[in-house]
């Protein structure tokens, strides 16, 4: 089933289209937005973080979900697919759909050129309406840089930035830490030595 020229879709129409589609799309208050495909760097970072989280939580009451699990944000009427979500305790399903949850404690997005502005602004604004959300991480896939937003109170968020290989990210709402060298393990950055030179691949880890 393909998306037509229809301008407005109900959530039910979106879910019907999404179940039949070959690729994923987001739903934003009536509009369906096709999602761009991921890069190898995006995949490496997501796997590095998810695998480390999953191992760290093996004896703790947290679960880790990757990009195939959908998130419903009722106050903004948005269906989206965060790259990584951490849920404390049991996931709460929207309308008993086991593919859609509503109670993440931590959300992580790996930034791309086309979505980084949206992820930092409008998407974070929507995420902040989720009552269970305590932390939001934005990970750059083209250089070592992580932005961490931690809830400090009602309508107050603390900001931390990490951009050194020898640093480690420590979550504030969950007992978890990961070194940036491990987060970016096997990630290849494009490096231009001088003007006119072709980009070479530099591997970290």
pLDDT per residue, tens digit, the chain (205 aa), is 344 566 899 999 999 999 999 999 999 999 999 987 789 999 999 999 999 999 999 999 999 999 899 999 999 999 999 999 999 999 999 999 999 999 999 999 999 887 777 888 899 999 999 999 999 999 999 999 999 999 999 999 999 999 998 899 999 999 999 999 999 999 999 864 444 444 445 566 6
DSSP letter for each residue of 121-164: THHHHHHTT-TT--EEEEEESSSS-EEEEEEEETTEEEEEEE--
Where in the sequence of the chain do the CATH 3.90.1570.10 domains occur?
A: 38-204
Q: Is 165 helix (H, G, I), strand (E, B) or coil?
A: coil
N residues, the chain: 205
38-204, superfamily in CATH? tt1808, chain A (3.90.1570.10)
- pLDDT value at residue 128: 97
Kind plus residue range of the DSSP H or E element containing 182: helix 180-183
For residue 186, give the nearest of 20, 43, 62, 51 by alpha carbon. Answer: 43
Q: Express each pLDDT in 94-146 by its tens digit.
A: 999 999 999 999 999 999 887 777 888 899 999 999 999 999 999 999 999 99
User: Cβ(56)–Cβ(62) under 8 Å?
Assistant: no
Q: What is the pLDDT of residue 38?
A: 82
DSSP-H helix ranges across 1-97: 11-20, 40-56
Q: Which of 188, 182, 148 shows the shortest CA–CA distance to 165?
A: 182
Task: Determine the pLDDT at residue 37.
Answer: 77
CB 8 within 8 A of CB 30: yes
Radius of gyration of the chain (CA): 18
Predicted pLDDT of residue 144: 95
């Amino acid at each position: 089933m393909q998306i037509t020229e229809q301008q407005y879709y109900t959530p039910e129409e979106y879910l019907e289209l999404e179940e039949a589609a070959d690729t994923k799309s987001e739903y934003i208050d009536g509009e369906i937005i096709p999602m761009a495909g991921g890069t190898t760097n995006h995949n490496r970072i997501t796997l590095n973080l998810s695998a480390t989280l999953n191992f760290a939580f093996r004896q703790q009451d947290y679960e880790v979900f990757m990009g195939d699990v959908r998130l419903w944000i009722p106050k903004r009427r948005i269906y989206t697919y965060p790259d990584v979500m951490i849920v404390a305790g049991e996931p709460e399903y929207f309308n008993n759909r086991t593919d859609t949850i509503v109670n993440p404690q931590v959300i992580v997005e790996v930034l791309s050129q086309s979505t980084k502005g949206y992820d930092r602004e409008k998407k974070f604004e929507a995420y902040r309406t989720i009552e269970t959300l305590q932390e939001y991480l934005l990970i750059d896939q083209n250089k070592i840089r992580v932005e961490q937003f931690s809830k400090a109170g009602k309508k107050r968020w603390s900001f931390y930035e990490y951009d050194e290989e020898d640093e480690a990210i420590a979550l504030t709402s969950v007992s978890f830490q990961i070194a940036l060298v491990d987060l970016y393990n096997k990630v290849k950055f494009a490096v231009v030595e001088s003007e006119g030179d072709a980009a070479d691949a530099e591997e970290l880890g």
